[in-house]
Copies of this chain bind each other. A is one copy, B any other.
Amino acid sequence: MTINNLLNSPGEWLRGDGPHSNIVVSSRVRIARNLRNFPFPGWAKKADRISVLECVKPAVDALPEMGEAYSIFSQDFSALEKQVLVERHLISREHAAKGLGSAVVMNKKQTLSIMINEEDHLRMQSIRSGLNLKSAFKLIDKVDTELADKLDFAFHPQLGFLTACPTNVGTGMRASAMMHLPALVLSEQINQVIQAVSKVGLAVRGLYGEGTEALGNLFQISNQVTLGEAEGDIITRLNKVIEQIIHHEVNARQGLLQKKPVTLLDNVGRAYGVLRYAHSMASKEALNLLSYLKLGVDLAFFPEEFQHVIDALFIETQPAHLQKGSAKKLQAEERDTLRAQIIRGKLVSFPPPDADRALAGGGSPPAE
């Protein structure tokens, strides 16, 4: 299948219909593997990189899980196309920077993606909608076993799998969930949650991983440790913590609905008003405002059918997705204008937030 097929068909996780998908946007598990007797990609000469690619790619292409796959050499992607995949979390920023000697192979549903010659020789990832860490892990574990039959992975009896960066040595696994936590932010409980999560050895990051901001009230929760704990145990522990955070977010939403309905309505209403009538909007602002619309749907301020419109806008308003849809190269200012125009177009049939839909009568303020 061609790059265009790939770019024009959003993957499974973007449909947003997995378990708890109102709070857990997506679950991801990735593992890092390297071939014995070859230098890591960052250290390898071009010839070595190409040898690794020639050895690994056929094995990956042949995986039964890949089926009719997208299998594309990095040099065949334009910078824009790579950026689109980064925005969909299908390849890493690091991989986007690679050229000759790298490749990515993805199944049609885009639930499985394997990068060759990123930081490690292999980075295999499964991404799923909602809280789906276990099934994501199951898939990756199976693929790993199948590839281990054909490829000679660098493995140390004491340390486990060897990786380019020491923080990945051992299992080579990073499991994460992207969570939408607007009520914990609004009720100022988020820092408490982040601290508690850090104490149990998990990391909280922003939308695009390490060192990025928590735009749109989106937080990525992941394991930090890859050494001394079995993969299944890590997944179970992470899953449990995520369920607790879901519980806190649900409570925070209920608390706000009961104690601060006006604050909630005000935030959702303002976001709606600005998104619907602005004529220029940066991508960060769009994410932050869309977060309140998403919350609004979850709280039944908006009809449920708008969930997919909003989820789609989270991705479609990202810079590369915007550029992809345009015939000519856009400057930042033109992107901001186009972004606002697209959002206005999507919201035109969108009614304003209606508190009565959510609040059980009584002292609730009118929506208009």
Contacts and interface: CB of A to CB of B under 8 A. Distances in A.
In the complex, the count of this chain's copies comes to 2
A277 interface: yes
A284 to B, nearest CB: 16
Interface in A310-355: 337, 340-341, 344-345, 348, 352-353
A263 B340 CA distance: 12
A270 B270 CA distance: 9
A275 B368 CA distance: 11
A272 interface: yes
A263 B280 contact: yes
B353 A368 contact: no
Contacts of A341: 365-366
Contact of A353 (B265, B277, B352): B277
For the side of the interface on A, what is the size category? 20 to 34
A87 to B, nearest CB: 24
A262 interface: yes
A279 interface: yes
A272 B278 CA distance: 9
A71 to B, nearest CB: 41
16 contacts: A262-B279, A262-B280, A265-B279, A266-B278, A266-B279, A266-B340, A269-B279, A270-B273, A270-B277, A273-B276, A274-B274, A276-B352, A277-B352, A279-B365, A345-B368, A348-B368
